[in-house]
C-alpha cells in the first residue's frame, strides 16, 4: 500500500531562540485531499509548512521531536533536494522565492535543477504559466510585476515541478477576487485530475469554507479538526483559538443576542456561514431591513462628505508607461482628493493601483498629464519636499525598516530633515503612541509579527506629520485580529484629520472603512464615488473583475447596501444610524 503524501506524528519544534512553535501535532493528508489550516499569528502554521519539505530541520535549526513523512520519506533523513520533487512550498513571503531575470527563467529554474531535457522544461514551464494566467509575460522581469502577479508566478514555479504534495502558505493574500476564484478552480483540477494532496494555510476563514477538512491551530497546538462548515460557525471553538468570528457568523450571532433569530423556537437555527445561508434564514424568519434604512444611511454618508476640506491632491490626465512595457500602466487618470477623506483604490492585479499610488507622492512622474500635491507639481518637486505632505507605507513593511530598534526606524524621517534630537524624540513618542507601540521603542522590528512591523512602518510615516497617508495593501499577511487593529488605527487617524488612501484587494476592508472608492481597470478609472454606490452595483464590480463581500451581498438581498456588521445589525434591529 502506497504511503500517504503527508503523515505527521507527535511533531514538536522549538527554534534556537527558545520559541516553542509546535507541540505534539499529528495529522495525515490523503491523495486528492484539500486540507485547510487556520490560526492566529504565532500559531505555528508557517513553521509547519517549513517542516513539510525539510527546510526544518536541515536549514532552519532548532529542536525537533516526532516524525514527518512525505510519501514515506522521513524529512529528517532525506535531503532537501530529494524532497523538492515531492513537496512544494509556497512561502508566505513569496517574493523571497523570486530571483531570476525573466518570468520564464524563474519557472524553468527548478526544472533545470531536476535535470529535465529542454523540450520538457519548456512544456512544463509554459503549462504552469498558462495555469496561473501569466502567459504573455514570459519576458517580463519578475520585479516589474504587481504583487498578485508575483504571487501567481511563485505558484507557477511549484506547479511546474509537479510535486504530489503542495503546501501553500497564504496563497490568496495578494490576489484580487477573480484571481482567488481562479486559484480554487486550479486547486480543484489538481485534486481531481492529478490526485495531488493540498495543504492551504490561511489567516482568514473565507478561503477555507470549501476545503475537505480544517485544522485549527493555536499556540502551536492542533486545537480542533473537522469540517469547516462546523468549525467556522462555532463561536466557542473560534474564541478558544483566539480567532474572531467570520463577518456573516458575527452578524447573526449578534442578531441572535438581540432576539431576532427565533430564539423561542424549539430548535433555533444554526448560525449561517455564507451569504446564501444568511439570506435564506432571514427570508425564512421574515426579517427585513427597516423601510427607511437606505435613506438614513445615505444621509449619514452625505453629512460625512460635507465635512471634507479643500483639495489636497489634484491629478489631471495622468498617463504612465513603464520602460519597455507594451502598454501603459495608467491612461488618462484624473482625480481630486480633499482633506479628511478616506479613499480605497481597488481593481484587479495589474490594473494600475500601486502605480497610481506612487504618483501621489512623487515616486513616479507621469509620462502624460500632471499631479499636484498641496499645490506642488510632483514633476518639479523633490520627493524629500513632497514627503513633508505625504507619508507612504509600501505593501511590504520590511522594505521600509532597516534599523535594529523600532525607535530608530521611526526617527529616520525627522532626523533626515535635520530636526534637533529633542524634537525627534517628541515625534517618535507621538508616532509610537498613535500605533500603540509607545513602550516598545527598544525592540528589534525584525523579530516581531507582520502586524506589528506594519504598525512600525505606519509610525515611521506619521513621524513626519504628513497631511496625506498612502498605504499599499496595509492588511496583507495580517491575521483577523491584526487586521481589525490596523483598520481601527487607520479609522482613528482619519478621525484625527489625516487624509488616507489605501490600495486593497480586501473587499471587506474597502466596504467597511473607506468613504470613497476608486475602481481601476486596465489603467483607467471606471468608477470614482461613494463606497456605498460602488458596492451597490453588480455590473460595475463584474466589469472590474471584483465582487461584493458576503456581508454586502446579504444586505443587498434585503434591498439596502449595508457595508459592515454594525450597519446590518442596526438596520435589522431597528436602530439604523
| Sequence-separated (6 or more) residues with CB below 8 Å from residue 61 | 15, 16
Degrees, nearest 5: CA angle 83-89-91: 140
DSSP H or E segment with residue 317? strand 311-320
Which CA distances in Å does 100 have to 115, 122, 140, 162, 175?
Answer: 18, 16, 10, 20, 22
Cα 181 from Cα 319, distance rounded (Å): 30
Task: For residue 57, say if its preceding peptide bond is cis, omega within 30 degrees of 0.
Answer: yes
Cell of 204: 482568514
Strand ranges of the sheet holding 20-29, from the earlier edge strand across to the other edge: 20-29, 6-15, 62-70, 73-74
pLDDT of residue 173: 80
Q: End-to-end distance of the chain based on CA atoms, in angstroms?
A: 63
Please list the ranges in the chain whose pLDDT falls under 50.
Answer: 264, 266, 576-577
Degrees, nearest 5: CA angle 464-513-568: 160
Least Cα distance to 521 among 504, 546, 493 occurs for 546
Q: Give the CA-trace dihedral at 305, 308, 314, 317, to 10 degrees.
A: 0
**Quick check: helix, strand or coil at residue 59?**
coil
Cell of 262: 427565533
Cα 344 from Cα 501, distance rounded (Å): 6
Model-level pTM? 0.87
Cα 369 from Cα 365, distance rounded (Å): 9
DSSP H or E segment with residue 424? helix 421-434
Domains (range + CATH), the chain? 6-240 (3.40.50.300), 244-287+550-577 (no CATH), 304-549 (3.40.50.300)
| Sequence-separated (6 or more) residues with CB below 8 Å from residue 119 | none
- Side-chain-side CA neighbours of 375 within 13 Å: the count stands at 1
Cα 456 from Cα 540, distance rounded (Å): 36
pLDDT of residue 576: 46
Categorise residue 434: left if φ over 0, alpha if ψ from -120 to 50, beta otherwise. alpha
Amino acid at each position: 500500500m502506497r504511503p500517504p503524501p503527508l503523515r505527521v506524528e507527535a511533531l514538536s519544534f522549538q527554534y534556537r531562540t527558545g520559541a516553542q512553535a509546535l507541540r505534539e501535532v499529528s495529522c495525515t493528508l490523503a491523495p486528492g485531499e484539500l486540507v485547510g489550516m487556520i490560526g492566529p499569528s504565532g500559531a505555528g502554521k508557517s513553521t509547519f509548512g517549513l517542516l513539510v519539505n525539510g527546510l526544518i530541520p536541515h536549514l532552519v535549526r532548532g529542536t525537533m521531536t516526532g516524525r514527518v513523512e512525505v510519501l514515506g520519506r522521513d524529512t529528517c533523513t532525506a535531503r532537501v533536494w530529494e524532497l523538492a520533487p515531492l513537496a512544494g512550498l509556497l512561502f508566505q513571503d513569496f517574493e523571497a522565492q523570486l530571483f531570476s531575470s525573466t518570468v520564464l527563467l524563474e519557472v524553468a529554474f527548478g526544472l533545470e535543477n531536476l535535470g529535465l531535457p529542454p523540450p520538457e522544461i519548456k512544456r512544463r514551464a509554459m503549462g504552469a504559466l498558462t495555469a496561473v494566467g501569466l502567459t504573455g509575460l514570459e519576458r517580463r522581469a519578475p520585479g516589474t510585476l504587481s504583487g498578485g502577479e508575483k504571487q501567481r508566478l511563485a505558484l507557477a514555479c511549484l506547479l511546474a515541478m509537479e510535486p504530489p504534495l503542495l503546501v501553500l502558505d497564504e496563497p490568496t493574500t495578494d490576489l484580487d477576487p477573480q484571481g482567488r476564484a481562479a486559484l480554487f478552480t486550479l486547486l480543484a483540477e489538481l485534486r481531481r485530475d492529478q490526485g495531488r494532496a493540498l495543504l492551504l494555510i490561511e489567516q482568514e476563514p473565507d478561503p477555507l469554507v470549501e476545503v475537505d477538512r480544517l485544522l485549527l491551530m493555536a499556540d502551536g497546538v492542533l486545537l480542533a479538526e473537522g469540517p469547516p462548515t462546523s468549525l467556522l460557525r462555532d463561536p466557542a471553538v473560534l474564541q478558544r483559538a483566539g480567532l474572531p468570528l467570520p463577518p456573516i457568523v458575527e452578524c447573526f450571532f449578534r442578531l441572535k443576542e438581540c432576539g431576532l433569530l427565533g430564539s423561542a423556537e424549539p430548535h433555533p437555527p444554526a448560525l449561517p456561514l455564507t451569504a446564501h445561508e444568511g439570506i435564506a434564514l432571514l427570508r425564512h424568519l421574515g426579517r427585513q431591513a427597516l423601510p427607511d434604512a437606505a435613506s438614513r444611511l445615505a444621509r449619514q454618508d452625505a453629512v460625512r462628505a460635507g465635512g471634507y476640506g479643500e483639495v489636497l491632491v489634484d491629478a489631471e490626465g495622468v498617463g504612465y508607461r513603464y520602460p519597455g512595457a507594451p502598454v501603459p500602466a495608467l491612461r488618462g487618470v484624473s482625480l481630486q482628493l480633499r482633506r479628511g477623506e478616506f479613499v480605497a483604490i481597488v481593481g484587479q492585479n495589474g490594473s494600475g493601483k500601486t502605480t497610481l499610488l506612487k504618483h501621489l507622492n512623487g515616486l513616479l512622474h507621469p509620462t502624460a498629464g500632471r499631479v499636484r500635491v498641496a499645490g506642488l507639481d510632483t514633476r518639479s518637486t523633490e520627493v524629500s519636499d513632497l514627503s513633508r505632505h505625504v507619508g507612504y507605507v509600501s505593501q511590504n513593511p520590511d522594505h521600509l525598516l532597516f534599523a535594529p530598534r523600532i525607535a530608530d526606524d521611526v526617527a529616520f524621517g525627522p532626523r533626515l530633515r535635520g530636526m534637533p534630537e529633542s524634537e525627534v524624540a517628541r515625534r517618535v513618542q507621538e508616532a509610537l503612541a498613535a500605533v500603540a507601540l509607545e513602550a516598545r521603542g527598544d525592540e528589534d522590528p525584525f523579530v516581531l509579527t507582520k502586524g506589528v512591523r506594519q504598525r512600525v512602518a505606519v509610525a515611521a510615516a506619521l513621524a513626519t506629520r504628513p497631511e496625506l497617508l498612502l498605504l499599499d495593501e496595509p492588511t496583507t499577511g495580517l491575521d483577523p485580529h491584526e487586521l481589525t487593529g490596523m483598520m481601527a488605527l487607520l479609522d482613528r487617524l482619519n478621525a484625527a484629520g489625516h487624509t488616507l488612501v489605501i490600495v486593497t484587494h480586501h473587499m471587506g476592508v474597502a466596504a467597511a472603512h473607506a468613504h470613497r472608492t476608486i475602481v481601476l481597470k486596465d489603467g483607467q478609472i471606471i468608477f470614482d464615488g461613494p463606497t456605498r454606490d460602488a458596492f451597490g452595483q453588480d455590473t460595475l464590480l463584474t466589469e472590474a473583475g471584483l465582487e461584493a463581500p458576503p456581508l454586502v451581498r446579504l444586505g443587498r438581498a434585503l434591498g439596502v447596501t449595508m457595508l459592515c456588521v454594525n450597519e446590518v445589525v442596526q438596520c435589522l434591529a431597528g436602530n439604523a444610524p
